[in-house]
Amino acid sequence: MSSSGILKSSIAKKYAMALTGLFLCLFLVGHLLGNLQLFIPGEEGQTAFNEYALFMTTFPAVKVLSYLTYASVLFHLVDGVVLTMQNRKARPVRYAVEKGSANSGWSSRNMAVLGTIVLVFIVTHMQNFWWRMHFGDMPTQMVNGQELKDLHTVVLNFFDPAVNGMALGATALYVLGMCGLGFHLWHGFGSAFQSMGLRHDGYTPLIEKAGKAFAVVVPAAFASIPLYLFLTQA
């Protein structure tokens, strides 16, 4: 492939990386809003969360969006690996006098590592909750004569040290995963707009500030849920 072809291919991959990343940001907001119901105490919270889980797994439009989310995660992962390999191939020798910190932030230099941390978290999360919800044995809750899968109890038990001997480790893993996500978003949010050529002296600083706020608030809110569940049940 010619140098111009490689360049065009790289630009296309960065554009796709940006689009899938921004779509996944929207998914994070929706997923967080649902998970915040875990803060509601008692039977009211149990019912609210289980009805949310039922809606997310049965409503046709949401199921389509779910499949789109799975595809976006996979494409974002593969695209990121390919771009990292292309960048390393384009710069096989690092200048001894060059300091990475002088040209870019820590997050931007470690996007691959941060992405790997997030991937490990996603796999663990899917195994513990998504897989069990769809294919495993589930407790149930009766609500107005309807039997619901009781994902609420499954989540609470997962972070309850009296039920799960690995609850402390699970909580730590979730918090670590959200730290990785936060740093990944710290660079990735603003970088997505730059990759799509959406830079302007007027609104780019606002986008960067919004991205950094998103990178802090959303992962912190996610991390607060397992911490709350663990501490209130310890």
List, for residues 170-180, the tens digit of each pLDDT value.
Answer: 999 999 999 98
Q: Coil, strand, or helix at residue 143?
A: strand
Q: pTM of the entire structure?
A: 0.80
Angle between helices 204-233 and 151-158 in degrees, nearest 10: 80
pLDDT at 211 over 90: no
* Mean pLDDT, residues 71-93 taken together: 69
- CATH code: domain 3-90+110-233 is 1.20.1300
* Mean pLDDT, residues 120-128 taken together: 88
Range of 66-80, 121-135, 219-233 with top mean pLDDT: 219-233
12-26, 34-48, 96-110, 124-138: segment of lowest average pLDDT: 96-110
Residue extents of the structural domains in the chain: 3-90+110-233
Query: 188 with 162: CB under 8 angstroms?
Result: no
What the block records as the tokens of 71 is 């595809």
Q: Which of 80, 82, 83, 60 is nearest to 72 (CA)?
A: 80
Q: 10-40 pLDDT, tens per residue?
A: 677 777 777 888 888 888 999 999 999 999 9
